Amino acid sequence: MVAKQKEERDSRWVWWREAGSTIRVNGSSVTKDRDAPDFGVALGEKEYTTGKHDVDFLINRSTDNYVYVGFASPDISLEETFCRQSATDHVWYYFGCGYTCALRNGWDDVVSKEVGGVKVPKLNQGSDRVRATLDMDAGEVRFSLFRMDEGRPGWKAMPGKITGVTGPVVAAACLQERCCVAWSPLSFVGFTETDGML
């Protein structure tokens, strides 16, 4: 019985339900290890239809590689970017790379410097942590980054939120260049408080 429980806990599909052809799954982490096709998507195992939920994404990228994290409909394409018109109202995510960072609904910026003049913070190069806080009852998602503030580590809320989220949804990551996304077991405990605002 103990061996069976350990096998189930270590199984890659306890964390991820499916992933694109360029994505390698290893336990709680997914890595894009081939260049073509350009994009690879990984979808979390757990579906959310009601309640409040936190998912902590751990992101590792060598340079300014593009990676998007958030929530998506379970039937979203595994081989295409989140940032396309046909994905609007099917994926809600944080884009922390490139010239203009944003909180997006598919193709559309919801919160960004270009929409409303609100600056969304950029991902750190190397390693970074992003918390996605989903409220399915309100149909919205907010994001936070883990930052050091005067030597005190804590979650800092990004400005704004994405509304109009409809379920069911799953945690989701889209990787363009070679990089790695994982999440922490604490994602399933449900921390909802942030220490401040970015």
Q: Is the pLDDT of residue 162 over 80?
A: yes
Task: Write down the pLDDT at residue 14.
Answer: 55
Share of the chain above pLDDT 70, in %: 84
Q: Is the pLDDT of residue 92 over 70?
A: yes
Those residues whose C-beta lies under 8 Å from the C-beta of residue 142, and which sit 6 or more positions away, are 132, 133, 135, 157, 158, 160, 161, 162
Looking at 52-56, 116-120, 131-135, which range is the least confident one?
116-120
Q: What is the spatial order of strands in the sheet that 102-105 belongs to?
A: 16-19, 40-48, 169-175, 67-72, 91-95, 102-105, 108-112
Task: Write down the pLDDT at residue 31.
Answer: 93
Those residues whose C-beta lies under 8 Å from the C-beta of residue 152, and which sit 6 or more positions away, are 195
Find where tokens 């994905």 sit: 87
Task: Write down the pLDDT at residue 105.
Answer: 97
Residue 84: how many other CB atoms lie within 10 Å: 14
Task: Write down the pLDDT at residue 13.
Answer: 46
Q: Is the pLDDT of residue 191 over 60?
A: no
Task: Write down the pLDDT at residue 193.
Answer: 41
Q: Do residues 21 and 40 lie in contact, with contact meaning Cβ atoms separated by under 8 Å?
A: yes
Q: How far apart are the first and last CA of the chain?
A: 46
Taking the model in full, what pTM does it have?
0.86
